[in-house]
A and B are shown apart, each in its own frame.
Chain A
Amino acid sequence: MAPEKAGLQVDEAALIRAAQRGDRDAFEQLVRVYDQSVLRLAMNLLRSPEDARDVYQEAFLRVYRNLGNFRFDCSFHTWLYRIVTNLCLDQIRKRKVRKEETTVVATGDGPLDRMDTVAEQRADTDPERNLFSGQLRRRIKDVLADLTPRERMVFELRHYQGLRLRRIGEILGTSEEAAKNCLFRATQKMRAALGDFL
């Protein structure tokens, strides 16, 4: 996959080879091609800026230390995401972040529920409908927290990162079929939990 950034086609293979020869600038450019999506993935999975920051740091340090062993057997994106998803899975399993998280954050203007920062159909002023969407959002959050780390990961990569199941299978070191089964299980759990909204 040739990544594109700011309308410029980046020669990824050349960047990787230069970084492998020890070119720090090339490595930095590689980081900049992917780091926003890495941070977004970590942030969405862990819902904690501190944990996302740790994952970002550790993931790119591992890439730097092991880049010499990268032999282009898979795409750099797949290799990087494999590292990131492993780190995130470890975090989710270890800290059970999603069950501990709070949606209320402190701001200069007092406590603010992060759920309120979510974009809504602002023209919609029907209070009953607003109440419904508020309840739905909270229920969705609980449902996501109840998925197993693996189901959560597959759902995140498919829904929020928009990756195809084949690619997800490659990243997680499994088959497309296994990834599909995992996604199916996750969506069945969500259907069961959100039954009254359906």
Chain B
Amino acid sequence: MSCAEARSHFWLLEYGELSFDEEERIETHLDRCADCRAARARTKELREGFDSLAVEPPASLLRDCRADLATRLEWEPPPPFAARQEGSEWWGQFLETLTSGWVLRPAGAVALLALGFMGARLAPSLGFLDFSGASEAGMSRVRDVQASSDGRIRIVVDETRQRTVTGAPGDRRIQTLLLNAARDPSDPGLREESLSLLDKRPFSREVRDMLVYALKNDDNAGVRMRAIEGLKEFAADPEVRSALSQALLGDANPGIRMRAIDLLAGDAAAAGAGGNFAPENMDRQIIGTLQQLMLREDNAYLRQRSQRILEAANASTEIY
């Protein structure tokens, strides 16, 4: 096999899409050819370059898409298959039989009464679950959360069947369900919306911890952004400041890093305008974080911002 032929197949080799024989021929060539081994290594690097261009849709976009679809479906007639099925359902046929002649009506009434009685005896209790603790709420899955125009919160919960739970923002059940929904690993839209409703709640350690956790760990930038917005009220808390420092130095999204620097620097608006920022409010740890940022940050705007804050605090812009 020639070098050119081997190199033309590196991508398919990367994807594992070559036959056993083809792969063997390339591997044999690679054993003998240092240049091709180097070229293979560069193909791997290039693959990582392609990986870095992957776009993750924002959670808000997913939420909007779902809302649009739900609205459109309201106007859609039932699918043709469902329409055909309606007349052939056993229940429909049963009712039709019962009501088709006046002679059968008394018998039908007795049958319905018996069904109702047996159903009531056999069906599980439909009383509202007691959501007094997170573990009980965790047995269900929150599918959707929404703020109503009257200031209440509407939560859709999946159990063996779906039900709607409504309550005031201060309701303990509502808060527990929102905290559960904010941890749902499968649905960033739900997590983001839940955090947005949580962050309007009065201060609570559980809420703060949830927001810190989301900022540090959520893989969706929209959810992390929502979490950092929620942490605005707690920006003086040492644990929160530590999470903000971590985000400033380590978050992949520059928008989140910008928000982190706003909150760490004190009055966000004042720091942004370069106006009446109070340097005496800056602790050593934050100065250290900003100095590290000067070394590591690629984004020119963030570096400039950090430099301005350090200069205002009479701190060096370098680490010695």
Task: Give the docked Cα–Cα distance between A8 and B12 (Å).
Answer: 34
B49 touches A140 (CB 8 A): yes
CB–CB B73/A24 < 8 A:
yes
- Does A99 reach chain B (CB closer than 8 Å)? no
Are A109 and B69 in contact (CB-based, < 8 A)?
no
Nearest B residue to A130, CB-CB: B298
Tier of interface size on chain A = 35 or more
A9 CB → nearest B CB, Å: 13
Measured CB to CB, the nearest residue on chain B to A134 is: B298
| B101: Cβ under 8 A from any A Cβ | no
Contact B12 A187 (CB under 8 A): yes
Q: Mark B111-122, 1 if CB is under 8 A from A, else 0.
A: 000000000000
Closest to A25 in B: B162
Q: Please tell me which one of the listed residues B11, B43, B252, B296 contacts residue A118 in the complex, with CB atoms under 8 A apart.
A: B252
Would B69 and A191 count as touching, CB distance under 8 A?
no
| CA gap between A36 and B55 in the complex, in Å | 12
Contact of A43 among B42, B57, B76 (CB under 8 A): B57
CB distance from A28 to the nearest CB of B (A): 8
A18-30 vs B: 1/0 string, CB under 8 Å? 0111101101100
Tell me which of B43, B53, B162 contacts A141 (CB under 8 A).
B53
Interface size on B, residues (CB 8 A): 63
CB distance from B299 to the nearest CB of A (A): 6
Give the distance to chain A from B220, nearest Cβ to Cβ, in Å.
10
Residues from chain B with Cβ under 8 Å of A174 in the complex: none
B53, B80, B188 — most chain A CB neighbours (10 Å): B53
Q: A25–B301 Cα gap in the complex (Å)?
A: 47
Rounded to whole Å, the gap between the CB of B163 and the closest CB of chain A is 11
Q: Is B274 an interface residue (CB 8 A)?
A: no
Considering the complex, give the chain B residue whose CB is closest to the CB of A36.
Answer: B62
A residues touching B (Cβ–Cβ < 8 Å)? 5-8, 19-22, 24-25, 27-28, 31-32, 35-36, 39-40, 43-44, 47, 49, 52-53, 56-57, 60-61, 64-69, 107, 109-110, 112, 116-120, 122-123, 125, 130, 133, 136-137, 140-141, 144, 158-160, 164-165, 180, 183-184, 187-188, 190-191, 194, 197-198
Known: A6-B186, A116-B298, A160-B54. 4 other contacts (CB 8 A): A64-B79, A118-B52, A158-B17, A191-B11
What are 5 A-to-B residue pairs whose CB atoms are below 8 Å? A28-B70, A118-B52, A122-B252, A183-B12, A197-B42
